[in-house]
Amino acid sequence: MGRRNPTPPVAADPMLADLTPGQRLRRLELTVTRRLDGLLHGERHGLLPGPGSEPAGSREYRPGEDEVRRMDWSVTARTAVPHVREVDADRELTTWLLVDASPSMEYGTAELDKRELAVAAVATIGFLTAGPGNRLGAQVLTPHGLHRVPARGGRTHLLGLLRALLAAPRAGDHPDPAPVAGLADALAEVRRVAHRRGLVVVVSDFLDGLPDDARLPARWERPLRRLTVRHQVLAVEVTDPREWELPDVGLITLVDPETGEHREVWTGDRHLRERYAAAAAAQREQVRHALRRAGATHLALRTDRDWTVDIVRHVHAQRRLASAAAPARRGGAA
């Protein structure tokens, strides 16, 4: 009897962090196009369904082609000829990203750290909003300054942005980083450069400028509210499971990534773990309420969950809300 070759072992699927930058980009693109693109059909169905358009004048009404709810009654009254409003189509969309790459985003205890999950979210937004005439720009908040990427279109531009995010400097790259702008200042800068109405996506843990007193507004809440006046705003909150609860692993040292402050904690204390979990839940509720008050749509992602599933659920929920609101809008117009 001939000798049988042993079955070669199946290589474990490497984590995203273990791959080279080029391999990471390819993995992200395949994940988005295979797992999300088939579920999120439609060129005009984006992450935030809505009007997503801007007035572009009026033209004469065409019976049988135009919807009555698009009638421009002011022009019709002036000219005595029925006119409808024209708008710039959703497919000509400008998306501005604000990506938080501050020290607190470098933390992670799951397959991805928070910054890598932020890159995955940006890849999803970039690939799903790509289309003729669409443009994507970004402001990246790093430990060493605010880096701006001009708004441009095309796959090459998107891949260049993702490479820049993967290569963005971390807190330990330079021993003495200079003080930099916070999330509130970065939001104000996005408002300054986002001239045309469009989509603004903020990817952060939203811990910067969050007051200890939950009754007080976060420093970033007011500039975020100013953005929502003109733009559709999606706030992507990125968290890690260890930010929600502590495991029972004995004595550990906690480090504040923003200030460098150290504190030793005995995690064997059950009451301490319960207080930590309660405080963490209250903090996240504080973020959720602040985002709601500012008028932003909230998408929560965690490093220990399947982010593609969370994004799909979010988009489907937004579409259900948009579909439910459509009859009310038509009834009001009638």
11-15, 130-134, 175-179 — which is least confidently predicted? Answer: 11-15
Check residue 43 and give its pLDDT: 44
Rounded to the nearest 5 percent, the helix, strand and coil shares of the chain are: 40, 20, 40
Looking only at the bridges linking them, the beta strands covering 199-204 and 145-152 are: unpaired
Identify the band that residue 332 occupies on the pLDDT scale cut at 50, 70 and 90: low
For the chain, how many residues are written?
334
Count of the separate structural domains present in the chain: 1
Examine residue 135 and state whether it is found in any structural domain, yes or no. Answer: yes
Q: How far apart are CA 163 and CA 19, in angstroms?
A: 13
Examine residue 112 and state whether it is found in any structural domain, yes or no. Answer: yes
Cβ atoms within 10 Å of 124's Cβ, excluding its own: 26
Q: What are the Cα distances from residue 119, in Å, to 122, 161, 236?
A: 5, 10, 11
Examine residue 117 and state whether it is found in any structural domain, yes or no. Answer: yes
Examine residue 3 and state whether it is found in any structural domain, yes or no. Answer: no
Asked whether residue 300 carries a pLDDT value surpassing 80, the answer given is yes
Q: Could you tell me if 87 and 54 are in contact, meaning their C-beta atoms sit under 8 angstroms apart?
A: yes
Question: Which residues contact residue 72 at a Cβ distance below 8 angstroms, ignoring those fewer than 6 apart?
Answer: 58, 83, 84, 85
Identify the band that residue 6 occupies on the pLDDT scale cut at 50, 70 and 90: very low
Amino acid of residue 154: G
Give the residue with greater pLDDT, 275 vs 111: 275
- First CA to last CA across the chain, in angstroms? 85
Closest CA to 95 of 153, 51, 37, 39: 153
Examine residue 65 and state whether it is found in any structural domain, yes or no. Answer: no
Question: Containing domain of residue 316, as a range?
Answer: 94-239+295-327
Q: What is the pLDDT of residues 205-256, one digit of tens each?
A: 999 989 988 889 999 999 999 999 989 999 999 999 999 999 888 998 888 7
Identify the band that residue 1 occupies on the pLDDT scale cut at 50, 70 and 90: very low
The CATH number of the domain holding residue 226 is 3.40.50.410
Q: What is the pLDDT of residues 40-73, one digit of tens each?
A: 544 444 555 544 444 556 778 877 666 677 788 8
Examine residue 167 and state whether it is found in any structural domain, yes or no. Answer: yes
Q: How far apart are CA 165 and CA 159, in angstroms?
A: 10
Examine residue 80 and state whether it is found in any structural domain, yes or no. Answer: no
